[in-house]
Amino acid sequence: MKELELNRETVQFLIDKAHEFHEREEVTFPDEPENPNEDLALQMSEDFSDDPYYGEIKSTVEDLEPDQQITLVALMWVGRGDYSLGEWADALAHAQDSWNTHTADYLIGTSLVADYLTEGLSLFDGQSE
């Protein structure tokens, strides 16, 4: 049985804030980012620096240790269907290889991140022992 080494309350907080952030009319994204990068981080910071939901999500993610940020990204990828739960180790390895200091903006810039994280948690919860 795969184990999620991430505080579920933190994940749920991020899900709730992401829903609130993405439901606002002024929040739009041209395309989902493939990987965290500096251009996206700069654009997100410029566009939403005064938004309280953006600030809460960003600070919560940035307060996580890098290994927890990596797990969060891998969870999103599993929930999005990029990897199956059986490929969890591969998702973690890819997230580790892709990790940088712009993880928060990458997650926030993924328009359905709340749904993907919810689905990822659901897949972990649905595992049979």
Is residue 45 a contact partner of residue 57, using CB atoms and an 8 Å limit? no
Tell me the per-residue pLDDT of 30-70, one tens digit each, with 9 for 90 and over. Answer: 554 454 555 655 666 667 778 788 889 999 999 999 999 99
Q: Name the 3-class secondary structure at 127.
A: coil
Measured N-to-C along each axis, helices 66-80 and 88-98 cross at an angle, to the nearest 10 degrees, of 130
Q: List the domain boundaries for the chain.
A: 8-125
What is the DSSP code string of 24-47?
STT---SS--SS--HHHHHHHHHH
What's the confidence (pLDDT) of residue 42?
A: 61
Q: Which of 11-20, 84-93, 106-115, 117-126 has the lowest mean pLDDT?
A: 106-115
